[in-house]
Structures are given as C-alpha cells and as structure tokens.
Chains A and B, each alone.
Chain A
Amino acid sequence: MIFNSSTPCDPEILAQYLGTFYADGWRIMSMFASESSPGATLNVILRRGSEIVRITSEVDGRYPAVTPRVPSASILERTIWEMNGIVPEGHDYLVPSIFWRKGNGHPLQKGGYFADGESRIPIPKNHVSGTGVYEIPVGPVHAGVIEPGHFRFSAAGEPILRLKIHLGYAHKGVEKLFEGPVKQNLSHLAERISGDNAVAHGLAYAHAMEGDTDIPARARYLRVILSELERIHNHLDVIAGLCTDSAFSVAAAYGAEAREELLRANHELFGNRMLMGSIVPGGVKRDLSADQIHKLENVVMRAGFAAMKVDGYMRRSPSEVDRLETTGVLETEDALRLGTVGTVARASGIVSDVRADLPYDAYGALSFNTVSRNKGDVMSRAAVRVGEVTESVSIILQCITDMDKGEIRTETETPEGFSMGIVESPRGELLHCADIRDGNIWRYSVRDPSVVNWPALELAVLGNIVPDFPLINKSFGLSYSGNDL
C-alpha cells in the first residue's frame, strides 16, 4: 500500500507530539531512521484502529528521546541508536543488543560501516542485590533446538525478581540486504526473516512492493489460504510446545503429530513445508487444482479437530490446568503501555487484529471473529491460539467456497515514494516499510511482532517461579530471528 502522506514534525517537540498521540490511544507501530544528506529522517508510524498516521522528523545526530513519554518506543529507539548512530537523548536504557560485532560504525548508515576490527562489550549484569538473591545466566546456547538468546534472571529462591532479555545473536543485516533495485524480486529474502512466518513476511513484502496494483481475485483468496495455513501450523506448534514443557506428553505428541501432518500436506500442495516461495509481488506462484483443493479441505479440517482435541486434553487435566492458569500474567494496562500486538495482546484483553481493522487481500470479503481473552495468563494465550485455529479453518473453508477460477498473477509496477505492507502474521501485526527513491529501495524497515512483544515477556514473568519461565516463553511464542533482523 502506498503511503506518501506524512506529517512533518520538529525533532525537538517530537516527544511531546507523540505523547499527545499516545494519550489519545494511538500506538507506535514502528519507528525507524532513514539516512539522508545531511542527517536522517525519523519515520514514526502510528495506528489507532483502522487509522494510520506517519510522522517524519529531520534529525541531525541527536534528538530528545520519545521513550520517557511513550514507553513502547524504548526498544525501537534503542535500535535506531545502535543501527543508525542517532542518539535519543534522555533514553534511560541505551544498551546495544549486539555485544560482539565485527566492524565499526553503524550498520544502517550509508557508507559508514567498515568491516575491519571488532568490538566486544561485556553483557550487563542485572544489579539486583539482597539476601539470597542470585543471578542465573541462561543461553545464548540452549539445551533444545531453539534460537539463540541470552536471558538473565535475578531470583530469590525460585521467584523471579527481574529478567533481562538480551537478543541480537541472530542479527544478519536483513534490512541492508533489501537495499537495491526494486526490479529484483526479494520474496525469498523476506520469507527467511523468520522462517516459521514465511508467508506473513513474504506477503508483507509483496504488499510493500506492489503498490496499489489490483491483484487477481483468485490470488487474493490463495494468499488468505496460505496465511491461514501458516497460522494453523504455528499455533499447533505453540500448543504442543506448551504440553511438552509441562511434561504432558500424550497431548504434546498428538499436537506435534497434527502439525507434522499439516507440514507434509503443505509440501505436497505448495512445494514447501513452511510454504516458502508461494507468494510473490503481483499474486501467488502456484494454483491449486480441484483435487488439491479437496485434499486441502481434508487436511485443514483434520488440523482443526486435532487442535480442539489437544485443547480438550489440556482442559480436562487438572494438573495441566493448574500449570497454565495464573501463570505469567500480562495485565491489560502493561500490554497497552508496551504496545504489544497479536495473540499476546488479544490474550490480555486488547481486541486488535489487522485482518479485521485493515482488511487486506480477501479478508474484507470473509467473515470471522477476533478471538480474545482478558486474563492475560498462559491459559488465555493458549485459548486464543486454539480459538484462532478454529477461525482459520473456517476462513479457509470460506475461501474454498468463494474462490472462482482465474488468473493468479499479474504484472506490478513498484511506485516511487513510501509504501507499506501490514499483515497479521501468526504472532501479530507485522509491518514492512519501503522508502523507494529512483527505482531503488533506499531504506527497508521490518517490524516483526516479536520486537514489541519481547519486552512484555520481561514483565509477564515477574513474581513467577523460575521453572515456569519456559512455559511462559513458549506461550508468547516469539521469534528471535525476526527480532534481530
């Protein structure tokens, strides 16, 4: 979607300006700097319901930080500081996320990066003291096959007093890799930002690149089917993972089996287990035959039943319910303050879903509910996911019914200027922004839902016991790779 309109703002009053927006119920979706000469342009994208506003501000090396007024800007301003070298003055937690790096300078500055030398800074300690308080460093290498992240707990006995999450180990310079001619199709790169959300990232990239081109109807429905298939396999993974982490092995095995069956069907129908390489700007790559649609219908129904069955096992087991309820509560107020999105926000009572608020592709023509709960505990997050699987099954079946024969791909022309792609990934609101100048991508910014949800995890674990952390972490189900970019 093309989004050229913007409101300019003086950097000195940016904080106050955003503060008034925040007080009015707007949420900062993304904030990033785009180099220009001289200085840089700060882009702030705000959303309230279905309204979106872009505020731009020309800064020169420094500006008064927004974080003291809008807490959710903290992580975004830190990234701007680390990647672009622009100092948000008055920010209370300017700690780099990458502790050991090759080269000097700021990676996202144009030409300001030298690949020689390396810098290493020690990982900051938590500085919590008191009788019996000790610090548990966990990671970045974990015991399971999971992504790298360093967690530092301060605990007194078992209860957690403080948790600091240090990510950045999966930094791979994705945003920089996008910079180049718009003619080249970088869907494959977008899909690999976070492999389990390949469709969502591919779709957001496509939306950012195809401007306001009219996409063929069949392609729009197929995109919805792909998105929902991805949602189902992600949610099944988290639900099965919750059972595994609480040693509830039979339900875990059942969920994992259902997910595997779905992934194999994905491979058969779309040529890739994680549905990579399906979405391109202008449409989709593969069409489904009548036989395949029949097969899809079966597979999706089975996955839906499996999710309900695992949910039933969980609800009927007092020992499992005891583990999940009241664990890792994220209060609605905190969820709002930190600007959380997606399943995490919906489990804490914030009804927000890009598919409903800003319908894209065929979502406007489909009917579905936004599932939400208001307790904000692990059980609520699990319940939201189970509810969403059911909705996804219904959406896919509606698509199968409504879909007509036709083209699946069209030629697109990428417009100059600023364009965005906003989609609801299985984790929540995903935003890709592209600043296109003279047929080149000048700056490409990705804001994965994980970026804004990770800080909420630090809050949700407080007061819980250390052995419950894996469960809370799993219920958030966040991406490390999508966060580190």
Chain B
Amino acid sequence: MNYAELALMLFQAAALILISPLVAGIIRKLKAMMQNRVGASIFQPYRDLMKLFRKETVVSENASFLFRAIPLVCITSMVLLAAMTPFIYSGVAAPYADVIAMVYIFTMFRFAMVLGGLEGGSAFGGMGSSREAMMSVLIEPALLISIMTLSAMTGAGFDISEISSSIIGAGAAAISPALLLAGTSFLITMVAENTRVPFDNPDTHLELTMVHEGMLLEYSGKGLAFMELASMLRLTIFMALLGTLFFPWGTAVTMAPSALALSVVAIAIKMLVIAFGIALLESTIAKMRVFRMPNMLTASFALSLMAMISLYVL
C-alpha cells in the first residue's frame, strides 16, 4: 500500500462517517414524504448528534464500567469497518480487508450492544437484548455465507478489495443466479441487522416492542451520540457494501481521477436508490410479529446457502 492509497482509504472512511447522518436523514425525509408529511430536514440527524454531544451523561447506578466502555467499542468497530469498506475505490486497505474479519466486527458490535442493553438494569434493555440476541444468531450465518459466496464466485479469497474488481472484470457474465441470490439474502440481512421495519420499528419508543431502541434506552449524552452515530454508520456501511460488492459497476478499480469521479457519482446514485427502497419498504409493510422474524431470517439464510450451492451446481 502506498501513501496515495492510504490517503484515499482515510478519505473514504471519513466520507462514510460524515455522510452517515445524511443517509439517515434522507431515509426519514423520504418516509415523511410517502406519508404526506413535510418531515424534518435531511440535516436533522447532524443537529441531533451535535445536541447529544453537548449533553451530560447520566449513568444508572446498576451499571458497571462496561456501560461507559460500550459506546466506544461500538463506534470504534464501525470506524474500523468504514476503513475496510470499498466505498469509492475498490482496492481499499488491501490486503488487510478480510471478509471474515468484517462479518465478525459486525458481530462484535452487536455483542457489545446486547451487553450494553443489559447493563442499565432496566426491564426494557433486557427485552431488547434478548430479542437482538435471538435475531443475531440467525443473521450471522446468512451474512457470512452471502459474502463468502462472492469470494468463492470471484476466486478472490477472503480479500474484500478483490471482489469488486473481479466482478467488474467478468462483465455481464457475473450476473448469475449466485450473485442475485446472495444479493437478496444480503438485502434481507441488511434490513434485519439495522433493525428496520419489518423487523423493528426505528421510529417508535413504545416500550414493549423495541429491539434496537430498547438497548439504547439507558444511554444519554455522549454515549447515546456514539451509539446513534454507530448505528447510522452501520446502515451506511451496509448500503455501501450492497452497492460496491453486489452491484459493483461504476466503482473505481484504478486510482485514475476520472474513474474516481465516476465512482463518486455512481455510489451516490446507488445509495439513493437503496435509501428509496428502504423508505418504500417501511412505508408499505407493517412490522412483523416477533416470532415471525426467525422465519424471515431463515429464509435469508436459505437464500445465501442456495447462492453458494448454485455456484457449484450450475
């Protein structure tokens, strides 16, 4: 890795972190428009985060040191992932960006969140954590297999940076059942992992139905700001991965300025399309019953497994 690549990698990570509140804001705005509401400005999440960073932190007397440490673990793991994600330039962080490391950093993030939910000592945190743990068990294999299908398909091994360039290199031949199935599985995983409708309702604070919000309930001030930012970043990273790994056309494979410029435009369009899709999904369907989630997640896992099998059968 030379200095130019390192600079690009850091720039990319910074860009991902900076735009993640904007992505959340755009999705909220789109949802508001679909509901015939004016909605808050797309820059509202930035204002919320700035407000939270200025506020004091209140810690439950039941909480141990973990309670304070967990927001830092969460934000660090997501920043680390931001550096690994091929966002504009596909060859980022090569050869250190490892598929398995990526999946398990996501898992570490979830694990930290679950612990954080339990730390506060409130009943709602415990409920949120228990539901998240149930979902997590099913999300992990689906996520792992759908991404590894890509590795196997392109022969790129475990190096993320190779995947995009190999798919682009293969041209139209890359659009195979394996890619489509793995992409669909990844899409369901993305919705579940980011606890959006139909798995969870990100807009509600109804105590008894919360999953993600339940775990954040006891956090305040900077801790909450870090957790919120980490969650927004997680969604943005997932969207970026979907845009660059599963539909990589447009992503820069060289460091030529023209390719990079094209890549910025391409990824912006892809992100907007995905944001629109999420908003549309959340506006048209109701939240599932908690006990239907495993069915949906198992379907996602089955899809990824079929993707992997089709790679060798077809």
Contacts and interface: CB of A to CB of B under 8 A. Distances in A.
Contacts of B26: none
Contact of A137 (B123, B284, B292): B123
Interface of B: 31, 34-37, 123-124, 126-127, 130, 197-198, 201, 203-209, 282-292
Interface centre among B36, B203, B286, B292 (most CB of A within 10 A): B286
Contact of A466 (B208, B282, B288, B292): B208
Contacts of B288: 319, 322-323
Interface in A245-263: 245-250, 252-254, 257
A465 B282 contact: no
A319 B206 contact: no
Interface in A414-465: 465
Nearest to B197: A247
Contact of A245 (B35, B206, B282, B289): B206
Interface string A221-265: 000000000000000000000010111111011100100000000
B47 to A, nearest CB: 22
A40 to B, nearest CB: 41
A144 interface: yes
9 A-B pairs with least C-beta separation: A253-B35, A247-B287, A247-B201, A248-B286, A143-B205, A467-B209, A320-B286, A246-B286, A319-B286
A247 B290 contact: no
Contacts of B127: 136, 466
B197 A250 contact: no
Nearest to A244: B204
A469 interface: yes
Contacts of A320: 285-286
Nearest to B206: A470
A142 interface: yes
Interface of A: 134-138, 142-144, 157-158, 243, 245-250, 252-254, 257, 317, 319-320, 322-323, 465-470
B205 A467 contact: no
Contacts of A254: 36
A210 B198 CA distance: 54
Contacts of B284: 250, 317
Given A138-B208, A245-B206, A465 B289 contact: yes
Given A144-B206, A247-B203, A467-B209, 20 more contacts: A136-B127, A138-B208, A142-B207, A144-B205, A158-B290, A243-B286, A245-B209, A248-B287, A249-B35, A249-B283, A250-B35, A317-B284, A319-B286, A319-B288, A320-B285, A323-B287, A323-B289, A465-B289, A470-B206, A470-B208
Contact of A465 (B197, B283, B290): B290
A247 B289 contact: no
Nearest to A314: B286
A320 B284 CA distance: 10
B236 to A, nearest CB: 22
A95 to B, nearest CB: 22
Contacts of A142: 207
24 contacts: A137-B123, A142-B207, A143-B205, A143-B207, A144-B205, A144-B206, A246-B287, A247-B198, A247-B201, A248-B285, A248-B286, A249-B34, A249-B203, A249-B283, A250-B284, A253-B36, A317-B284, A319-B287, A322-B288, A323-B286, A466-B127, A466-B208, A467-B208, A469-B208
B31 A249 contact: yes
Nearest to A155: B127
